[in-house]
């Protein structure tokens, strides 16, 4: 059995064309795997003669350091294809996790609100360095602006648009990201993003961005952490509500291995338990009033808080 693995960017029409060509060239039982980070697997497989042999295998950057692979099944992906993809990931020394098909899948769906909220904080006057340093101190492997520059601002903006189309107002696309794409400020690959990049070093912030700030104000570190980290917890709870992943332990493993969430905090939902779900719901309700609908607490968080439940079992 053969397997063709593709990484073609976020152009759906190009992917359809290439997958059809692959199907004509490969042996009859070959599997086609896509590294798409956000596009629906069933949609990508829709024009294939054998959609049962199509699957998503989403690796995380940098691939040599991030051990997670999301295994995403489409509506018609068969068990043989799933087993082959899982086996291949393990042979590569990776940790596979099967996730349900949904826009953004699991890790990106949770991580994008964090990145977008950082950009919205910037628009409201927060300093780029202040936000990055605050979240580094929290334990993230890099600040959200450094991460956006590393991944590519254009990639982040495209994924944010896909999630906005899927989930509506709670997945806002910050204006600053669109403006940066128009200006060609795409991050490390163009030498200019949120920071100026020279060789392997990132130096000063991109001073041109200051014109895109709506106002100038300082934010306390606690506010930065609440708005970014609670955004992730809230979306993660929705993923559990929708059975995107089997349980909180798998979700935490995925966020540690795929997004670099600090392992010393036990994972995202373990951290939620430590904070207390009643406290989280109270803070989200306050942010909902002051910042908008995107902070409306998920029903799962509200229900668990009312019942004094925790994600890892027992009462809070």
Tokens of 204: 């000063």
**Residue 124: count of CB within 10 angstroms of its CB:** 15
16, 50, 58, 288: the catalytic one is 58
| Residues contacting 49, CB < 8 A, separation 6+ | 23
At which residue do the structure tokens 């349900």 appear? Answer: 100
The question of whether 58 is a catalytic residue gets the answer: yes
Q: What number of residues does the chain have?
A: 316
Round to whole Å and give the CA distance between 224 and 221. 5
Round to whole Å and give the CA distance between 87 and 178. 39
DSSP secondary structure letters along 97-113 = EEE---TTTTHHHHHHH
H/E stretch holding 49: none
Write out the catalytic residue numbers.
58
């Amino acid at each position: 059995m053969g397997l063709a693995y593709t990484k073609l960017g976020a152009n759906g029409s190009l992917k359809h064309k290439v997958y059809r060509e692959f199907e004509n060239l490969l042996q009859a039982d070959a599997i086609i795997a896509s590294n798409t980070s956000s596009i629906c697997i069933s949609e990508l497989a829709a024009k294939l003669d054998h959609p049962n042999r199509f699957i998503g295998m989403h690796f995380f950057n940098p691939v040599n350091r991030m051990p997670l692979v999301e295994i995403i099944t489409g509506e018609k992906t068969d068990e043989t294809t799933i087993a082959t993809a899982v086996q291949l990931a393990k042979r590569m020394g990776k940790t596979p996790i099967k996730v349900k098909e949904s826009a953004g899948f699991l890790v990106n769906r949770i991580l994008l609100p964090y990145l977008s909220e950082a950009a919205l904080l910037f628009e409201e006057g927060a300093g780029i360095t202040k936000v990055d340093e605050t979240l580094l101190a929290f334990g993230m492997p890099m600040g959200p602006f450094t991460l956006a520059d590393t991944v590519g601002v254009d990639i982040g903006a495209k994924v944010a648009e896909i999630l906005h189309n899927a989930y509506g107002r709670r997945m806002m696309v910050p204006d600053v990201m669109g403006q940066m794409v128009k200006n060609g400020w795409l991050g490390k690959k163009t030498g200019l993003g949120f920071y100026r990049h020279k060789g392997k070093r990132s130096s000063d912030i991109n001073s041109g961005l200051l014109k895109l700030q709506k106002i100038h104000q300082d934010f306390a570190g606690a506010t930065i952490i609440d708005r970014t980290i609670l955004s992730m917890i809230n979306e993660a709870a929705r993923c559990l509500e929708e059975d995107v992943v089997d349980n909180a332990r798998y979700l935490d493993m995925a966020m540690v291995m795929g997004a670099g969430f600090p392992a010393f905090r036990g994972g995202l939902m373990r951290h939620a338990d430590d904070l207390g779900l009643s406290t989280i719901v109270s803070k989200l309700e306050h942010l909902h009033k002051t910042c908008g609908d995107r902070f409306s607490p998920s029903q799962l968080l509200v229900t668990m808080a009312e019942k004094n439940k925790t994600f890892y079992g027992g009462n809070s």
